[in-house]
Amino acid sequence: MEFLVIAAVKIVLVLLIILTTVANLVYAERRISAAIQNRIGPNRVGPWGLLQAPADVLKLFMKEDIVPFQANKGIHMLAPIVSITVAMATFAVIPFGDRITIFGHDVKLMIADVNVGVLYILAMTSMGVYGVTLSGWSSTTSTPFSADFVLSADDQL
């Protein structure tokens, strides 16, 4: 039971670090792009535009999910879940440090300690194309489906 609690805490910490890093990088990209293009940039939400990332997340969750009429709704909903799950699962074997002691417990700074970490990362990243393929498959027409195969082949190169 203790092992599961430690693993859950590690997973939550890794996800929080990844998501805050991505939010900060998006903010920096917007500020730098605005400076390069000689425009204002993100400054509408919060001081200096610092709340732009949470506002974007709120906007994303409030948007209507438009599903094509003939689409398979289950597969349409599954495609982004597969892509995100596979992308986040690659961080499970990345070591962020050696070991630390917290409250008398020796904790490794990685979620899963496996001997085939590089093989695991290669396998997970190659499975990322399934989300793209599922999104085309859900449309039940041949044009997006064949375009997704081209995109999947492009991802593998």
Asked if residue 157 has pLDDT above 60, the reply is no
Confirm if 88 and 18 have CB atoms less than 8 A apart: yes
The pTM score is 0.69
- Considering the chain, what percentage of its residues have pLDDT values greater than 90? 3
Asked if residue 156 has pLDDT above 60, the reply is no
Rounded distance between C-alpha atoms, residue 84 and residue 24, angstroms: 19
Note the pLDDT of residue 25: 92
